């Protein structure tokens, strides 16, 4: 996640649901939310090698068996709740993975 005020983009994007993509190649582009932007590493032309360190991993229940968890990152079983701060101190359950029941409930619209 990136703070919205620190993010800038140019060009044309198309959207389907809450996902945006390049209309030319179909590649995913950052998802702009109310206060932050979800920048996936695959959407970058050049991946930064310094200055960025993951603080959490999402969808760890889908992690390939050959991928190891990042030791210093929070492990979240599914998706992060929209209004959950990215720097929240989590209380993991016994296996170290947060489940939907251990996360704040999503507010209904």
The pTM of this model reads: 0.49
Q: Mind listing the pLDDT tens digit for each residue in 42-76?
A: 777 777 777 777 788 888 999 999 999 988 888 98
Domain ranges of the chain: 2-43, 53-109
- CB crowding 60-88: b at 16 or more within 10 Å, else e: beeeeeeeeeeeeebbbbeebeeeeeeee
Cα separation, 90 vs 64, whole angstroms: 23
Q: Mind listing the pLDDT tens digit for each residue in 7-48?
A: 887 888 888 877 788 888 888 888 777 888 877 777 777 777
**In the structure, how many helices (H) and strands (E) does the chain have?**
0, 8
The answer to whether residue 95 scores a pLDDT higher than 80 is no
């Amino acid at each position: 996640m990136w703070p919205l005020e620190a993010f800038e983009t140019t060009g044309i994007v198309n959207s389907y649901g809450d996902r945006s993509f390049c209309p030319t190649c179909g590649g995913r582009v950052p998802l702009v939310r109310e206060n932050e932007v979800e920048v996936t590493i695959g959407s970058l032309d050049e991946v930064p090698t310094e200055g960025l360190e993951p603080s959490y991993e999402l969808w760890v229940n889908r992690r390939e068996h050959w991928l190891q968890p990042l030791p210093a990152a929070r492990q979240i079983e599914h998706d992060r709740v929209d209004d959950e701060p990215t720097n929240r101190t989590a209380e993991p359950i016994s296996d170290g993975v947060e489940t939907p029941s251990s996360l704040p409930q999503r507010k209904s619209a």
